[in-house]
């Protein structure tokens, strides 16, 4: 009796060992979902990540990239990550409002003078701390990825801040962005990125704010006759995973993956400004949208009109975070 029990137990143990081994020999699958086109900084970053993983971790890790909201969209991708149905995302920083209010600092209009200033903030202690600000919600930030500074597009020419009054602008789901347009006497409507082209084409909204690469890759310039080069805010991303998934990856493999993340981050961030510059030129060359430049005085008028929003959100964001962000600007102001 005891003998047969021991034999059965040994058999069960052997089966368990085999199935654990079989499972561990199966490559770890990382599904990377995002909402933009392949020919954008984020789209290129996702493809480079897949390429490097396949070169260096063949047989151990497999990456599937889903672009253009083809697997999950803005409305459900973060929930899917928290349930470990997808393992990597890079949502724009405006899309984490449900999980932390501190990241709203990136949405404040005219806070950062340019992408270099954003970069400095992201590298300093406060910026790095924000990568861990959502772990209690099963979201861990692995890196910041740049896209670029946002421009205002509309159905009419926007030269003065008062020109925006009465228009309805598409926004990402961010209270700061809503407040920014209210400050101009305009309205806003939050909607997923996948709906923006149709909403502008049909006139459901009359304006939007996007970096050049998102405008060009989604053909938004074909349905927006005017684009004002405001550079009023930043559209950057946080590359995120589920900490329960990420920290369960065997140590040596995770170290290799983190090295790849660093390498891809460097490539994306070095390329993003060049991509946006090239897409700006393509939009101008297309002739379908007039690009409006602002003089220093005109830009200052936009800045003054939008700036009260900083005070409104200072308590939510944290005075320390706001101060650290302000400290990275180097240009002197009139
Ligand atoms: C993105 O670049 O991921 C989309 C940003 C947006 O929703 O405007």
Question: Rounded to the nearest whole angstrom, what is the distance from the C-alpha of residue 264 to the centroid of ligand 1?
Answer: 19
- CA separation for the pair 112, 179 (Å, rounded): 18
Question: Rounded to the nearest whole angstrom, what is the distance from the C-alpha of residue 206 to the centroid of ligand 1?
Answer: 18
Atom of ligand 1 nearest to the CA of 214: 2
Atom of ligand 1 nearest to the CA of 92: 3
Say whether pTM exceeds 0.85.
yes
Which residues contact residue 118 at a Cβ distance below 8 angstroms, ignoring those fewer than 6 apart?
106, 112, 146, 234, 236, 328
Residue 173 placed within a domain: yes
Residue 223 placed within a domain: yes
Choose which residue among 42, 97, 214 to substitute to test ligand 1 binding: the one with the highest number of ligand atoms within 8 A of its C-beta. 214
Helix axes 175-183, 308-317, angle to 10 degrees: 160
- CA separation for the pair 183, 180 (Å, rounded): 5
- CA separation for the pair 110, 154 (Å, rounded): 19
Question: Rounded to the nearest whole angstrom, what is the distance from the C-alpha of residue 150 to the centroid of ligand 1?
Answer: 11
Residue 334 placed within a domain: no
The domain that holds 319 is classified in CATH as: 3.40.190.170
Q: What's the pLDDT band for 332 if we cut at 50, 70, 90?
A: low
Query: pLDDT by residue (tens digit) across 176-228?
Result: 999 999 999 999 999 999 999 999 999 999 999 999 999 999 999 999 999 99
Q: Would the CA dihedral through 209, 128, 75, 277 be positive or negative?
A: positive
Query: pLDDT by residue (tens digit) across 238-254?
Result: 999 999 999 999 999 99
Q: State the first-to-last Cα distance of the chain, in angstroms, to the nearest integer.
A: 91
Residue 9 or 73, more confident: 73
Question: Rounded to the nearest whole angstrom, what is the distance from the C-alpha of residue 317 to the centroid of ligand 1?
Answer: 21
Residue 9 placed within a domain: no
* 214 C-beta closer than 6 A to ligand 1: yes
How large is the average pLDDT for residues 227-238? 98
Question: What is the residue with the minimal CA distance to atom 7 of ligand 1?
Answer: 193
Instruction: Tell me how many domains the chain contains.
Output: 1
Residue 11 placed within a domain: no
DSSP secondary structure letter of residue 92: B
Q: What's the pLDDT band for 155 if we cut at 50, 70, 90?
A: very high
Choose which residue among 39, 75, 93, 147 to substitute to test ligand 1 binding: the one with the highest number of ligand atoms within 8 A of its C-beta. 147
Question: In terms of residue numbers, what domain contains 33?
Answer: 22-327
Residue 17 placed within a domain: no
Which residues contact residue 121 at a Cβ distance below 8 angstroms, ignoring those fewer than 6 apart?
112, 127, 324, 325, 328
Residue 6 placed within a domain: no
Question: What is the residue with the minimal CA distance to atom 4 of ligand 1?
Answer: 193
Residue 1 placed within a domain: no
């Amino acid at each position: 009796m005891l003998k047969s029990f021991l034999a059965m137990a040994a058999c069960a143990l052997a089966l368990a060992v085999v199935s654990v081994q079989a499972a561990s020999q199966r490559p770890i699958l990382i599904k990377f979902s995002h909402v933009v086109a392949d020919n954008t900084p984020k789209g290129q970053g996702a493809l480079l990540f897949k390429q490097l993983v396949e070169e260096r971790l063949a047989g151990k890790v497999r990456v599937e990239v889903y672009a253009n909201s083809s697997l999950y969209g803005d409305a459900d991708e973060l929930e899917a990550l928290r349930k470990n149905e997808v393992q990597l995302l890079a949502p724009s920083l405006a899309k984490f409002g449900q999980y932390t209010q501190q990241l709203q600092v990136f949405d404040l209009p005219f806070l950062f003078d340019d992408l270099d200033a954003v970069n400095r903030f992201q590298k300093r202690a406060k910026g790095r701390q924000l990568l861990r600000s959502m772990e209690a919600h099963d979201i861990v930030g692995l890196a910041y990825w740049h896209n670029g500074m946002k421009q205002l597009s509309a159905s009419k020419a926007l030269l003065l801040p008062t020109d925006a009054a009465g228009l309805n602008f598409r926004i990402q789901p961010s209270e700061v962005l809503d407040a920014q347009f209210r400050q101009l006497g305009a309205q806003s409507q939050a909607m997923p990125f996948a709906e923006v082209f149709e909403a502008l084409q049909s006139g459901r909204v009359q304006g939007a704010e996007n970096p050049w690469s998102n405008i060009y890759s989604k053909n938004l310039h074909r349905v927006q006759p005017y684009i004002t080069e405001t550079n009023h805010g930043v559209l950057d991303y946080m590359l995120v995973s589920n900490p329960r998934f990420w920290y369960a990856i065997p140590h040596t493999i995770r170290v290799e993956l983190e090295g790849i993340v660093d390498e891809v981050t460097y490539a994306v961030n070095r390329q993003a400004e060049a991509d946006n510059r090239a897409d700006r030129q393509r939009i101008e060359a297309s002739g379908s949208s007039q690009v409006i430049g602002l003089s220093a005085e005109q830009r200052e008028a936009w800045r003054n009109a939008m700036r009260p929003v900083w005070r409104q959100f200072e308590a939510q964001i944290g005075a320390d975070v706001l101060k650290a962000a302000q400290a990275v600007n180097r240009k002197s102001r009139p």
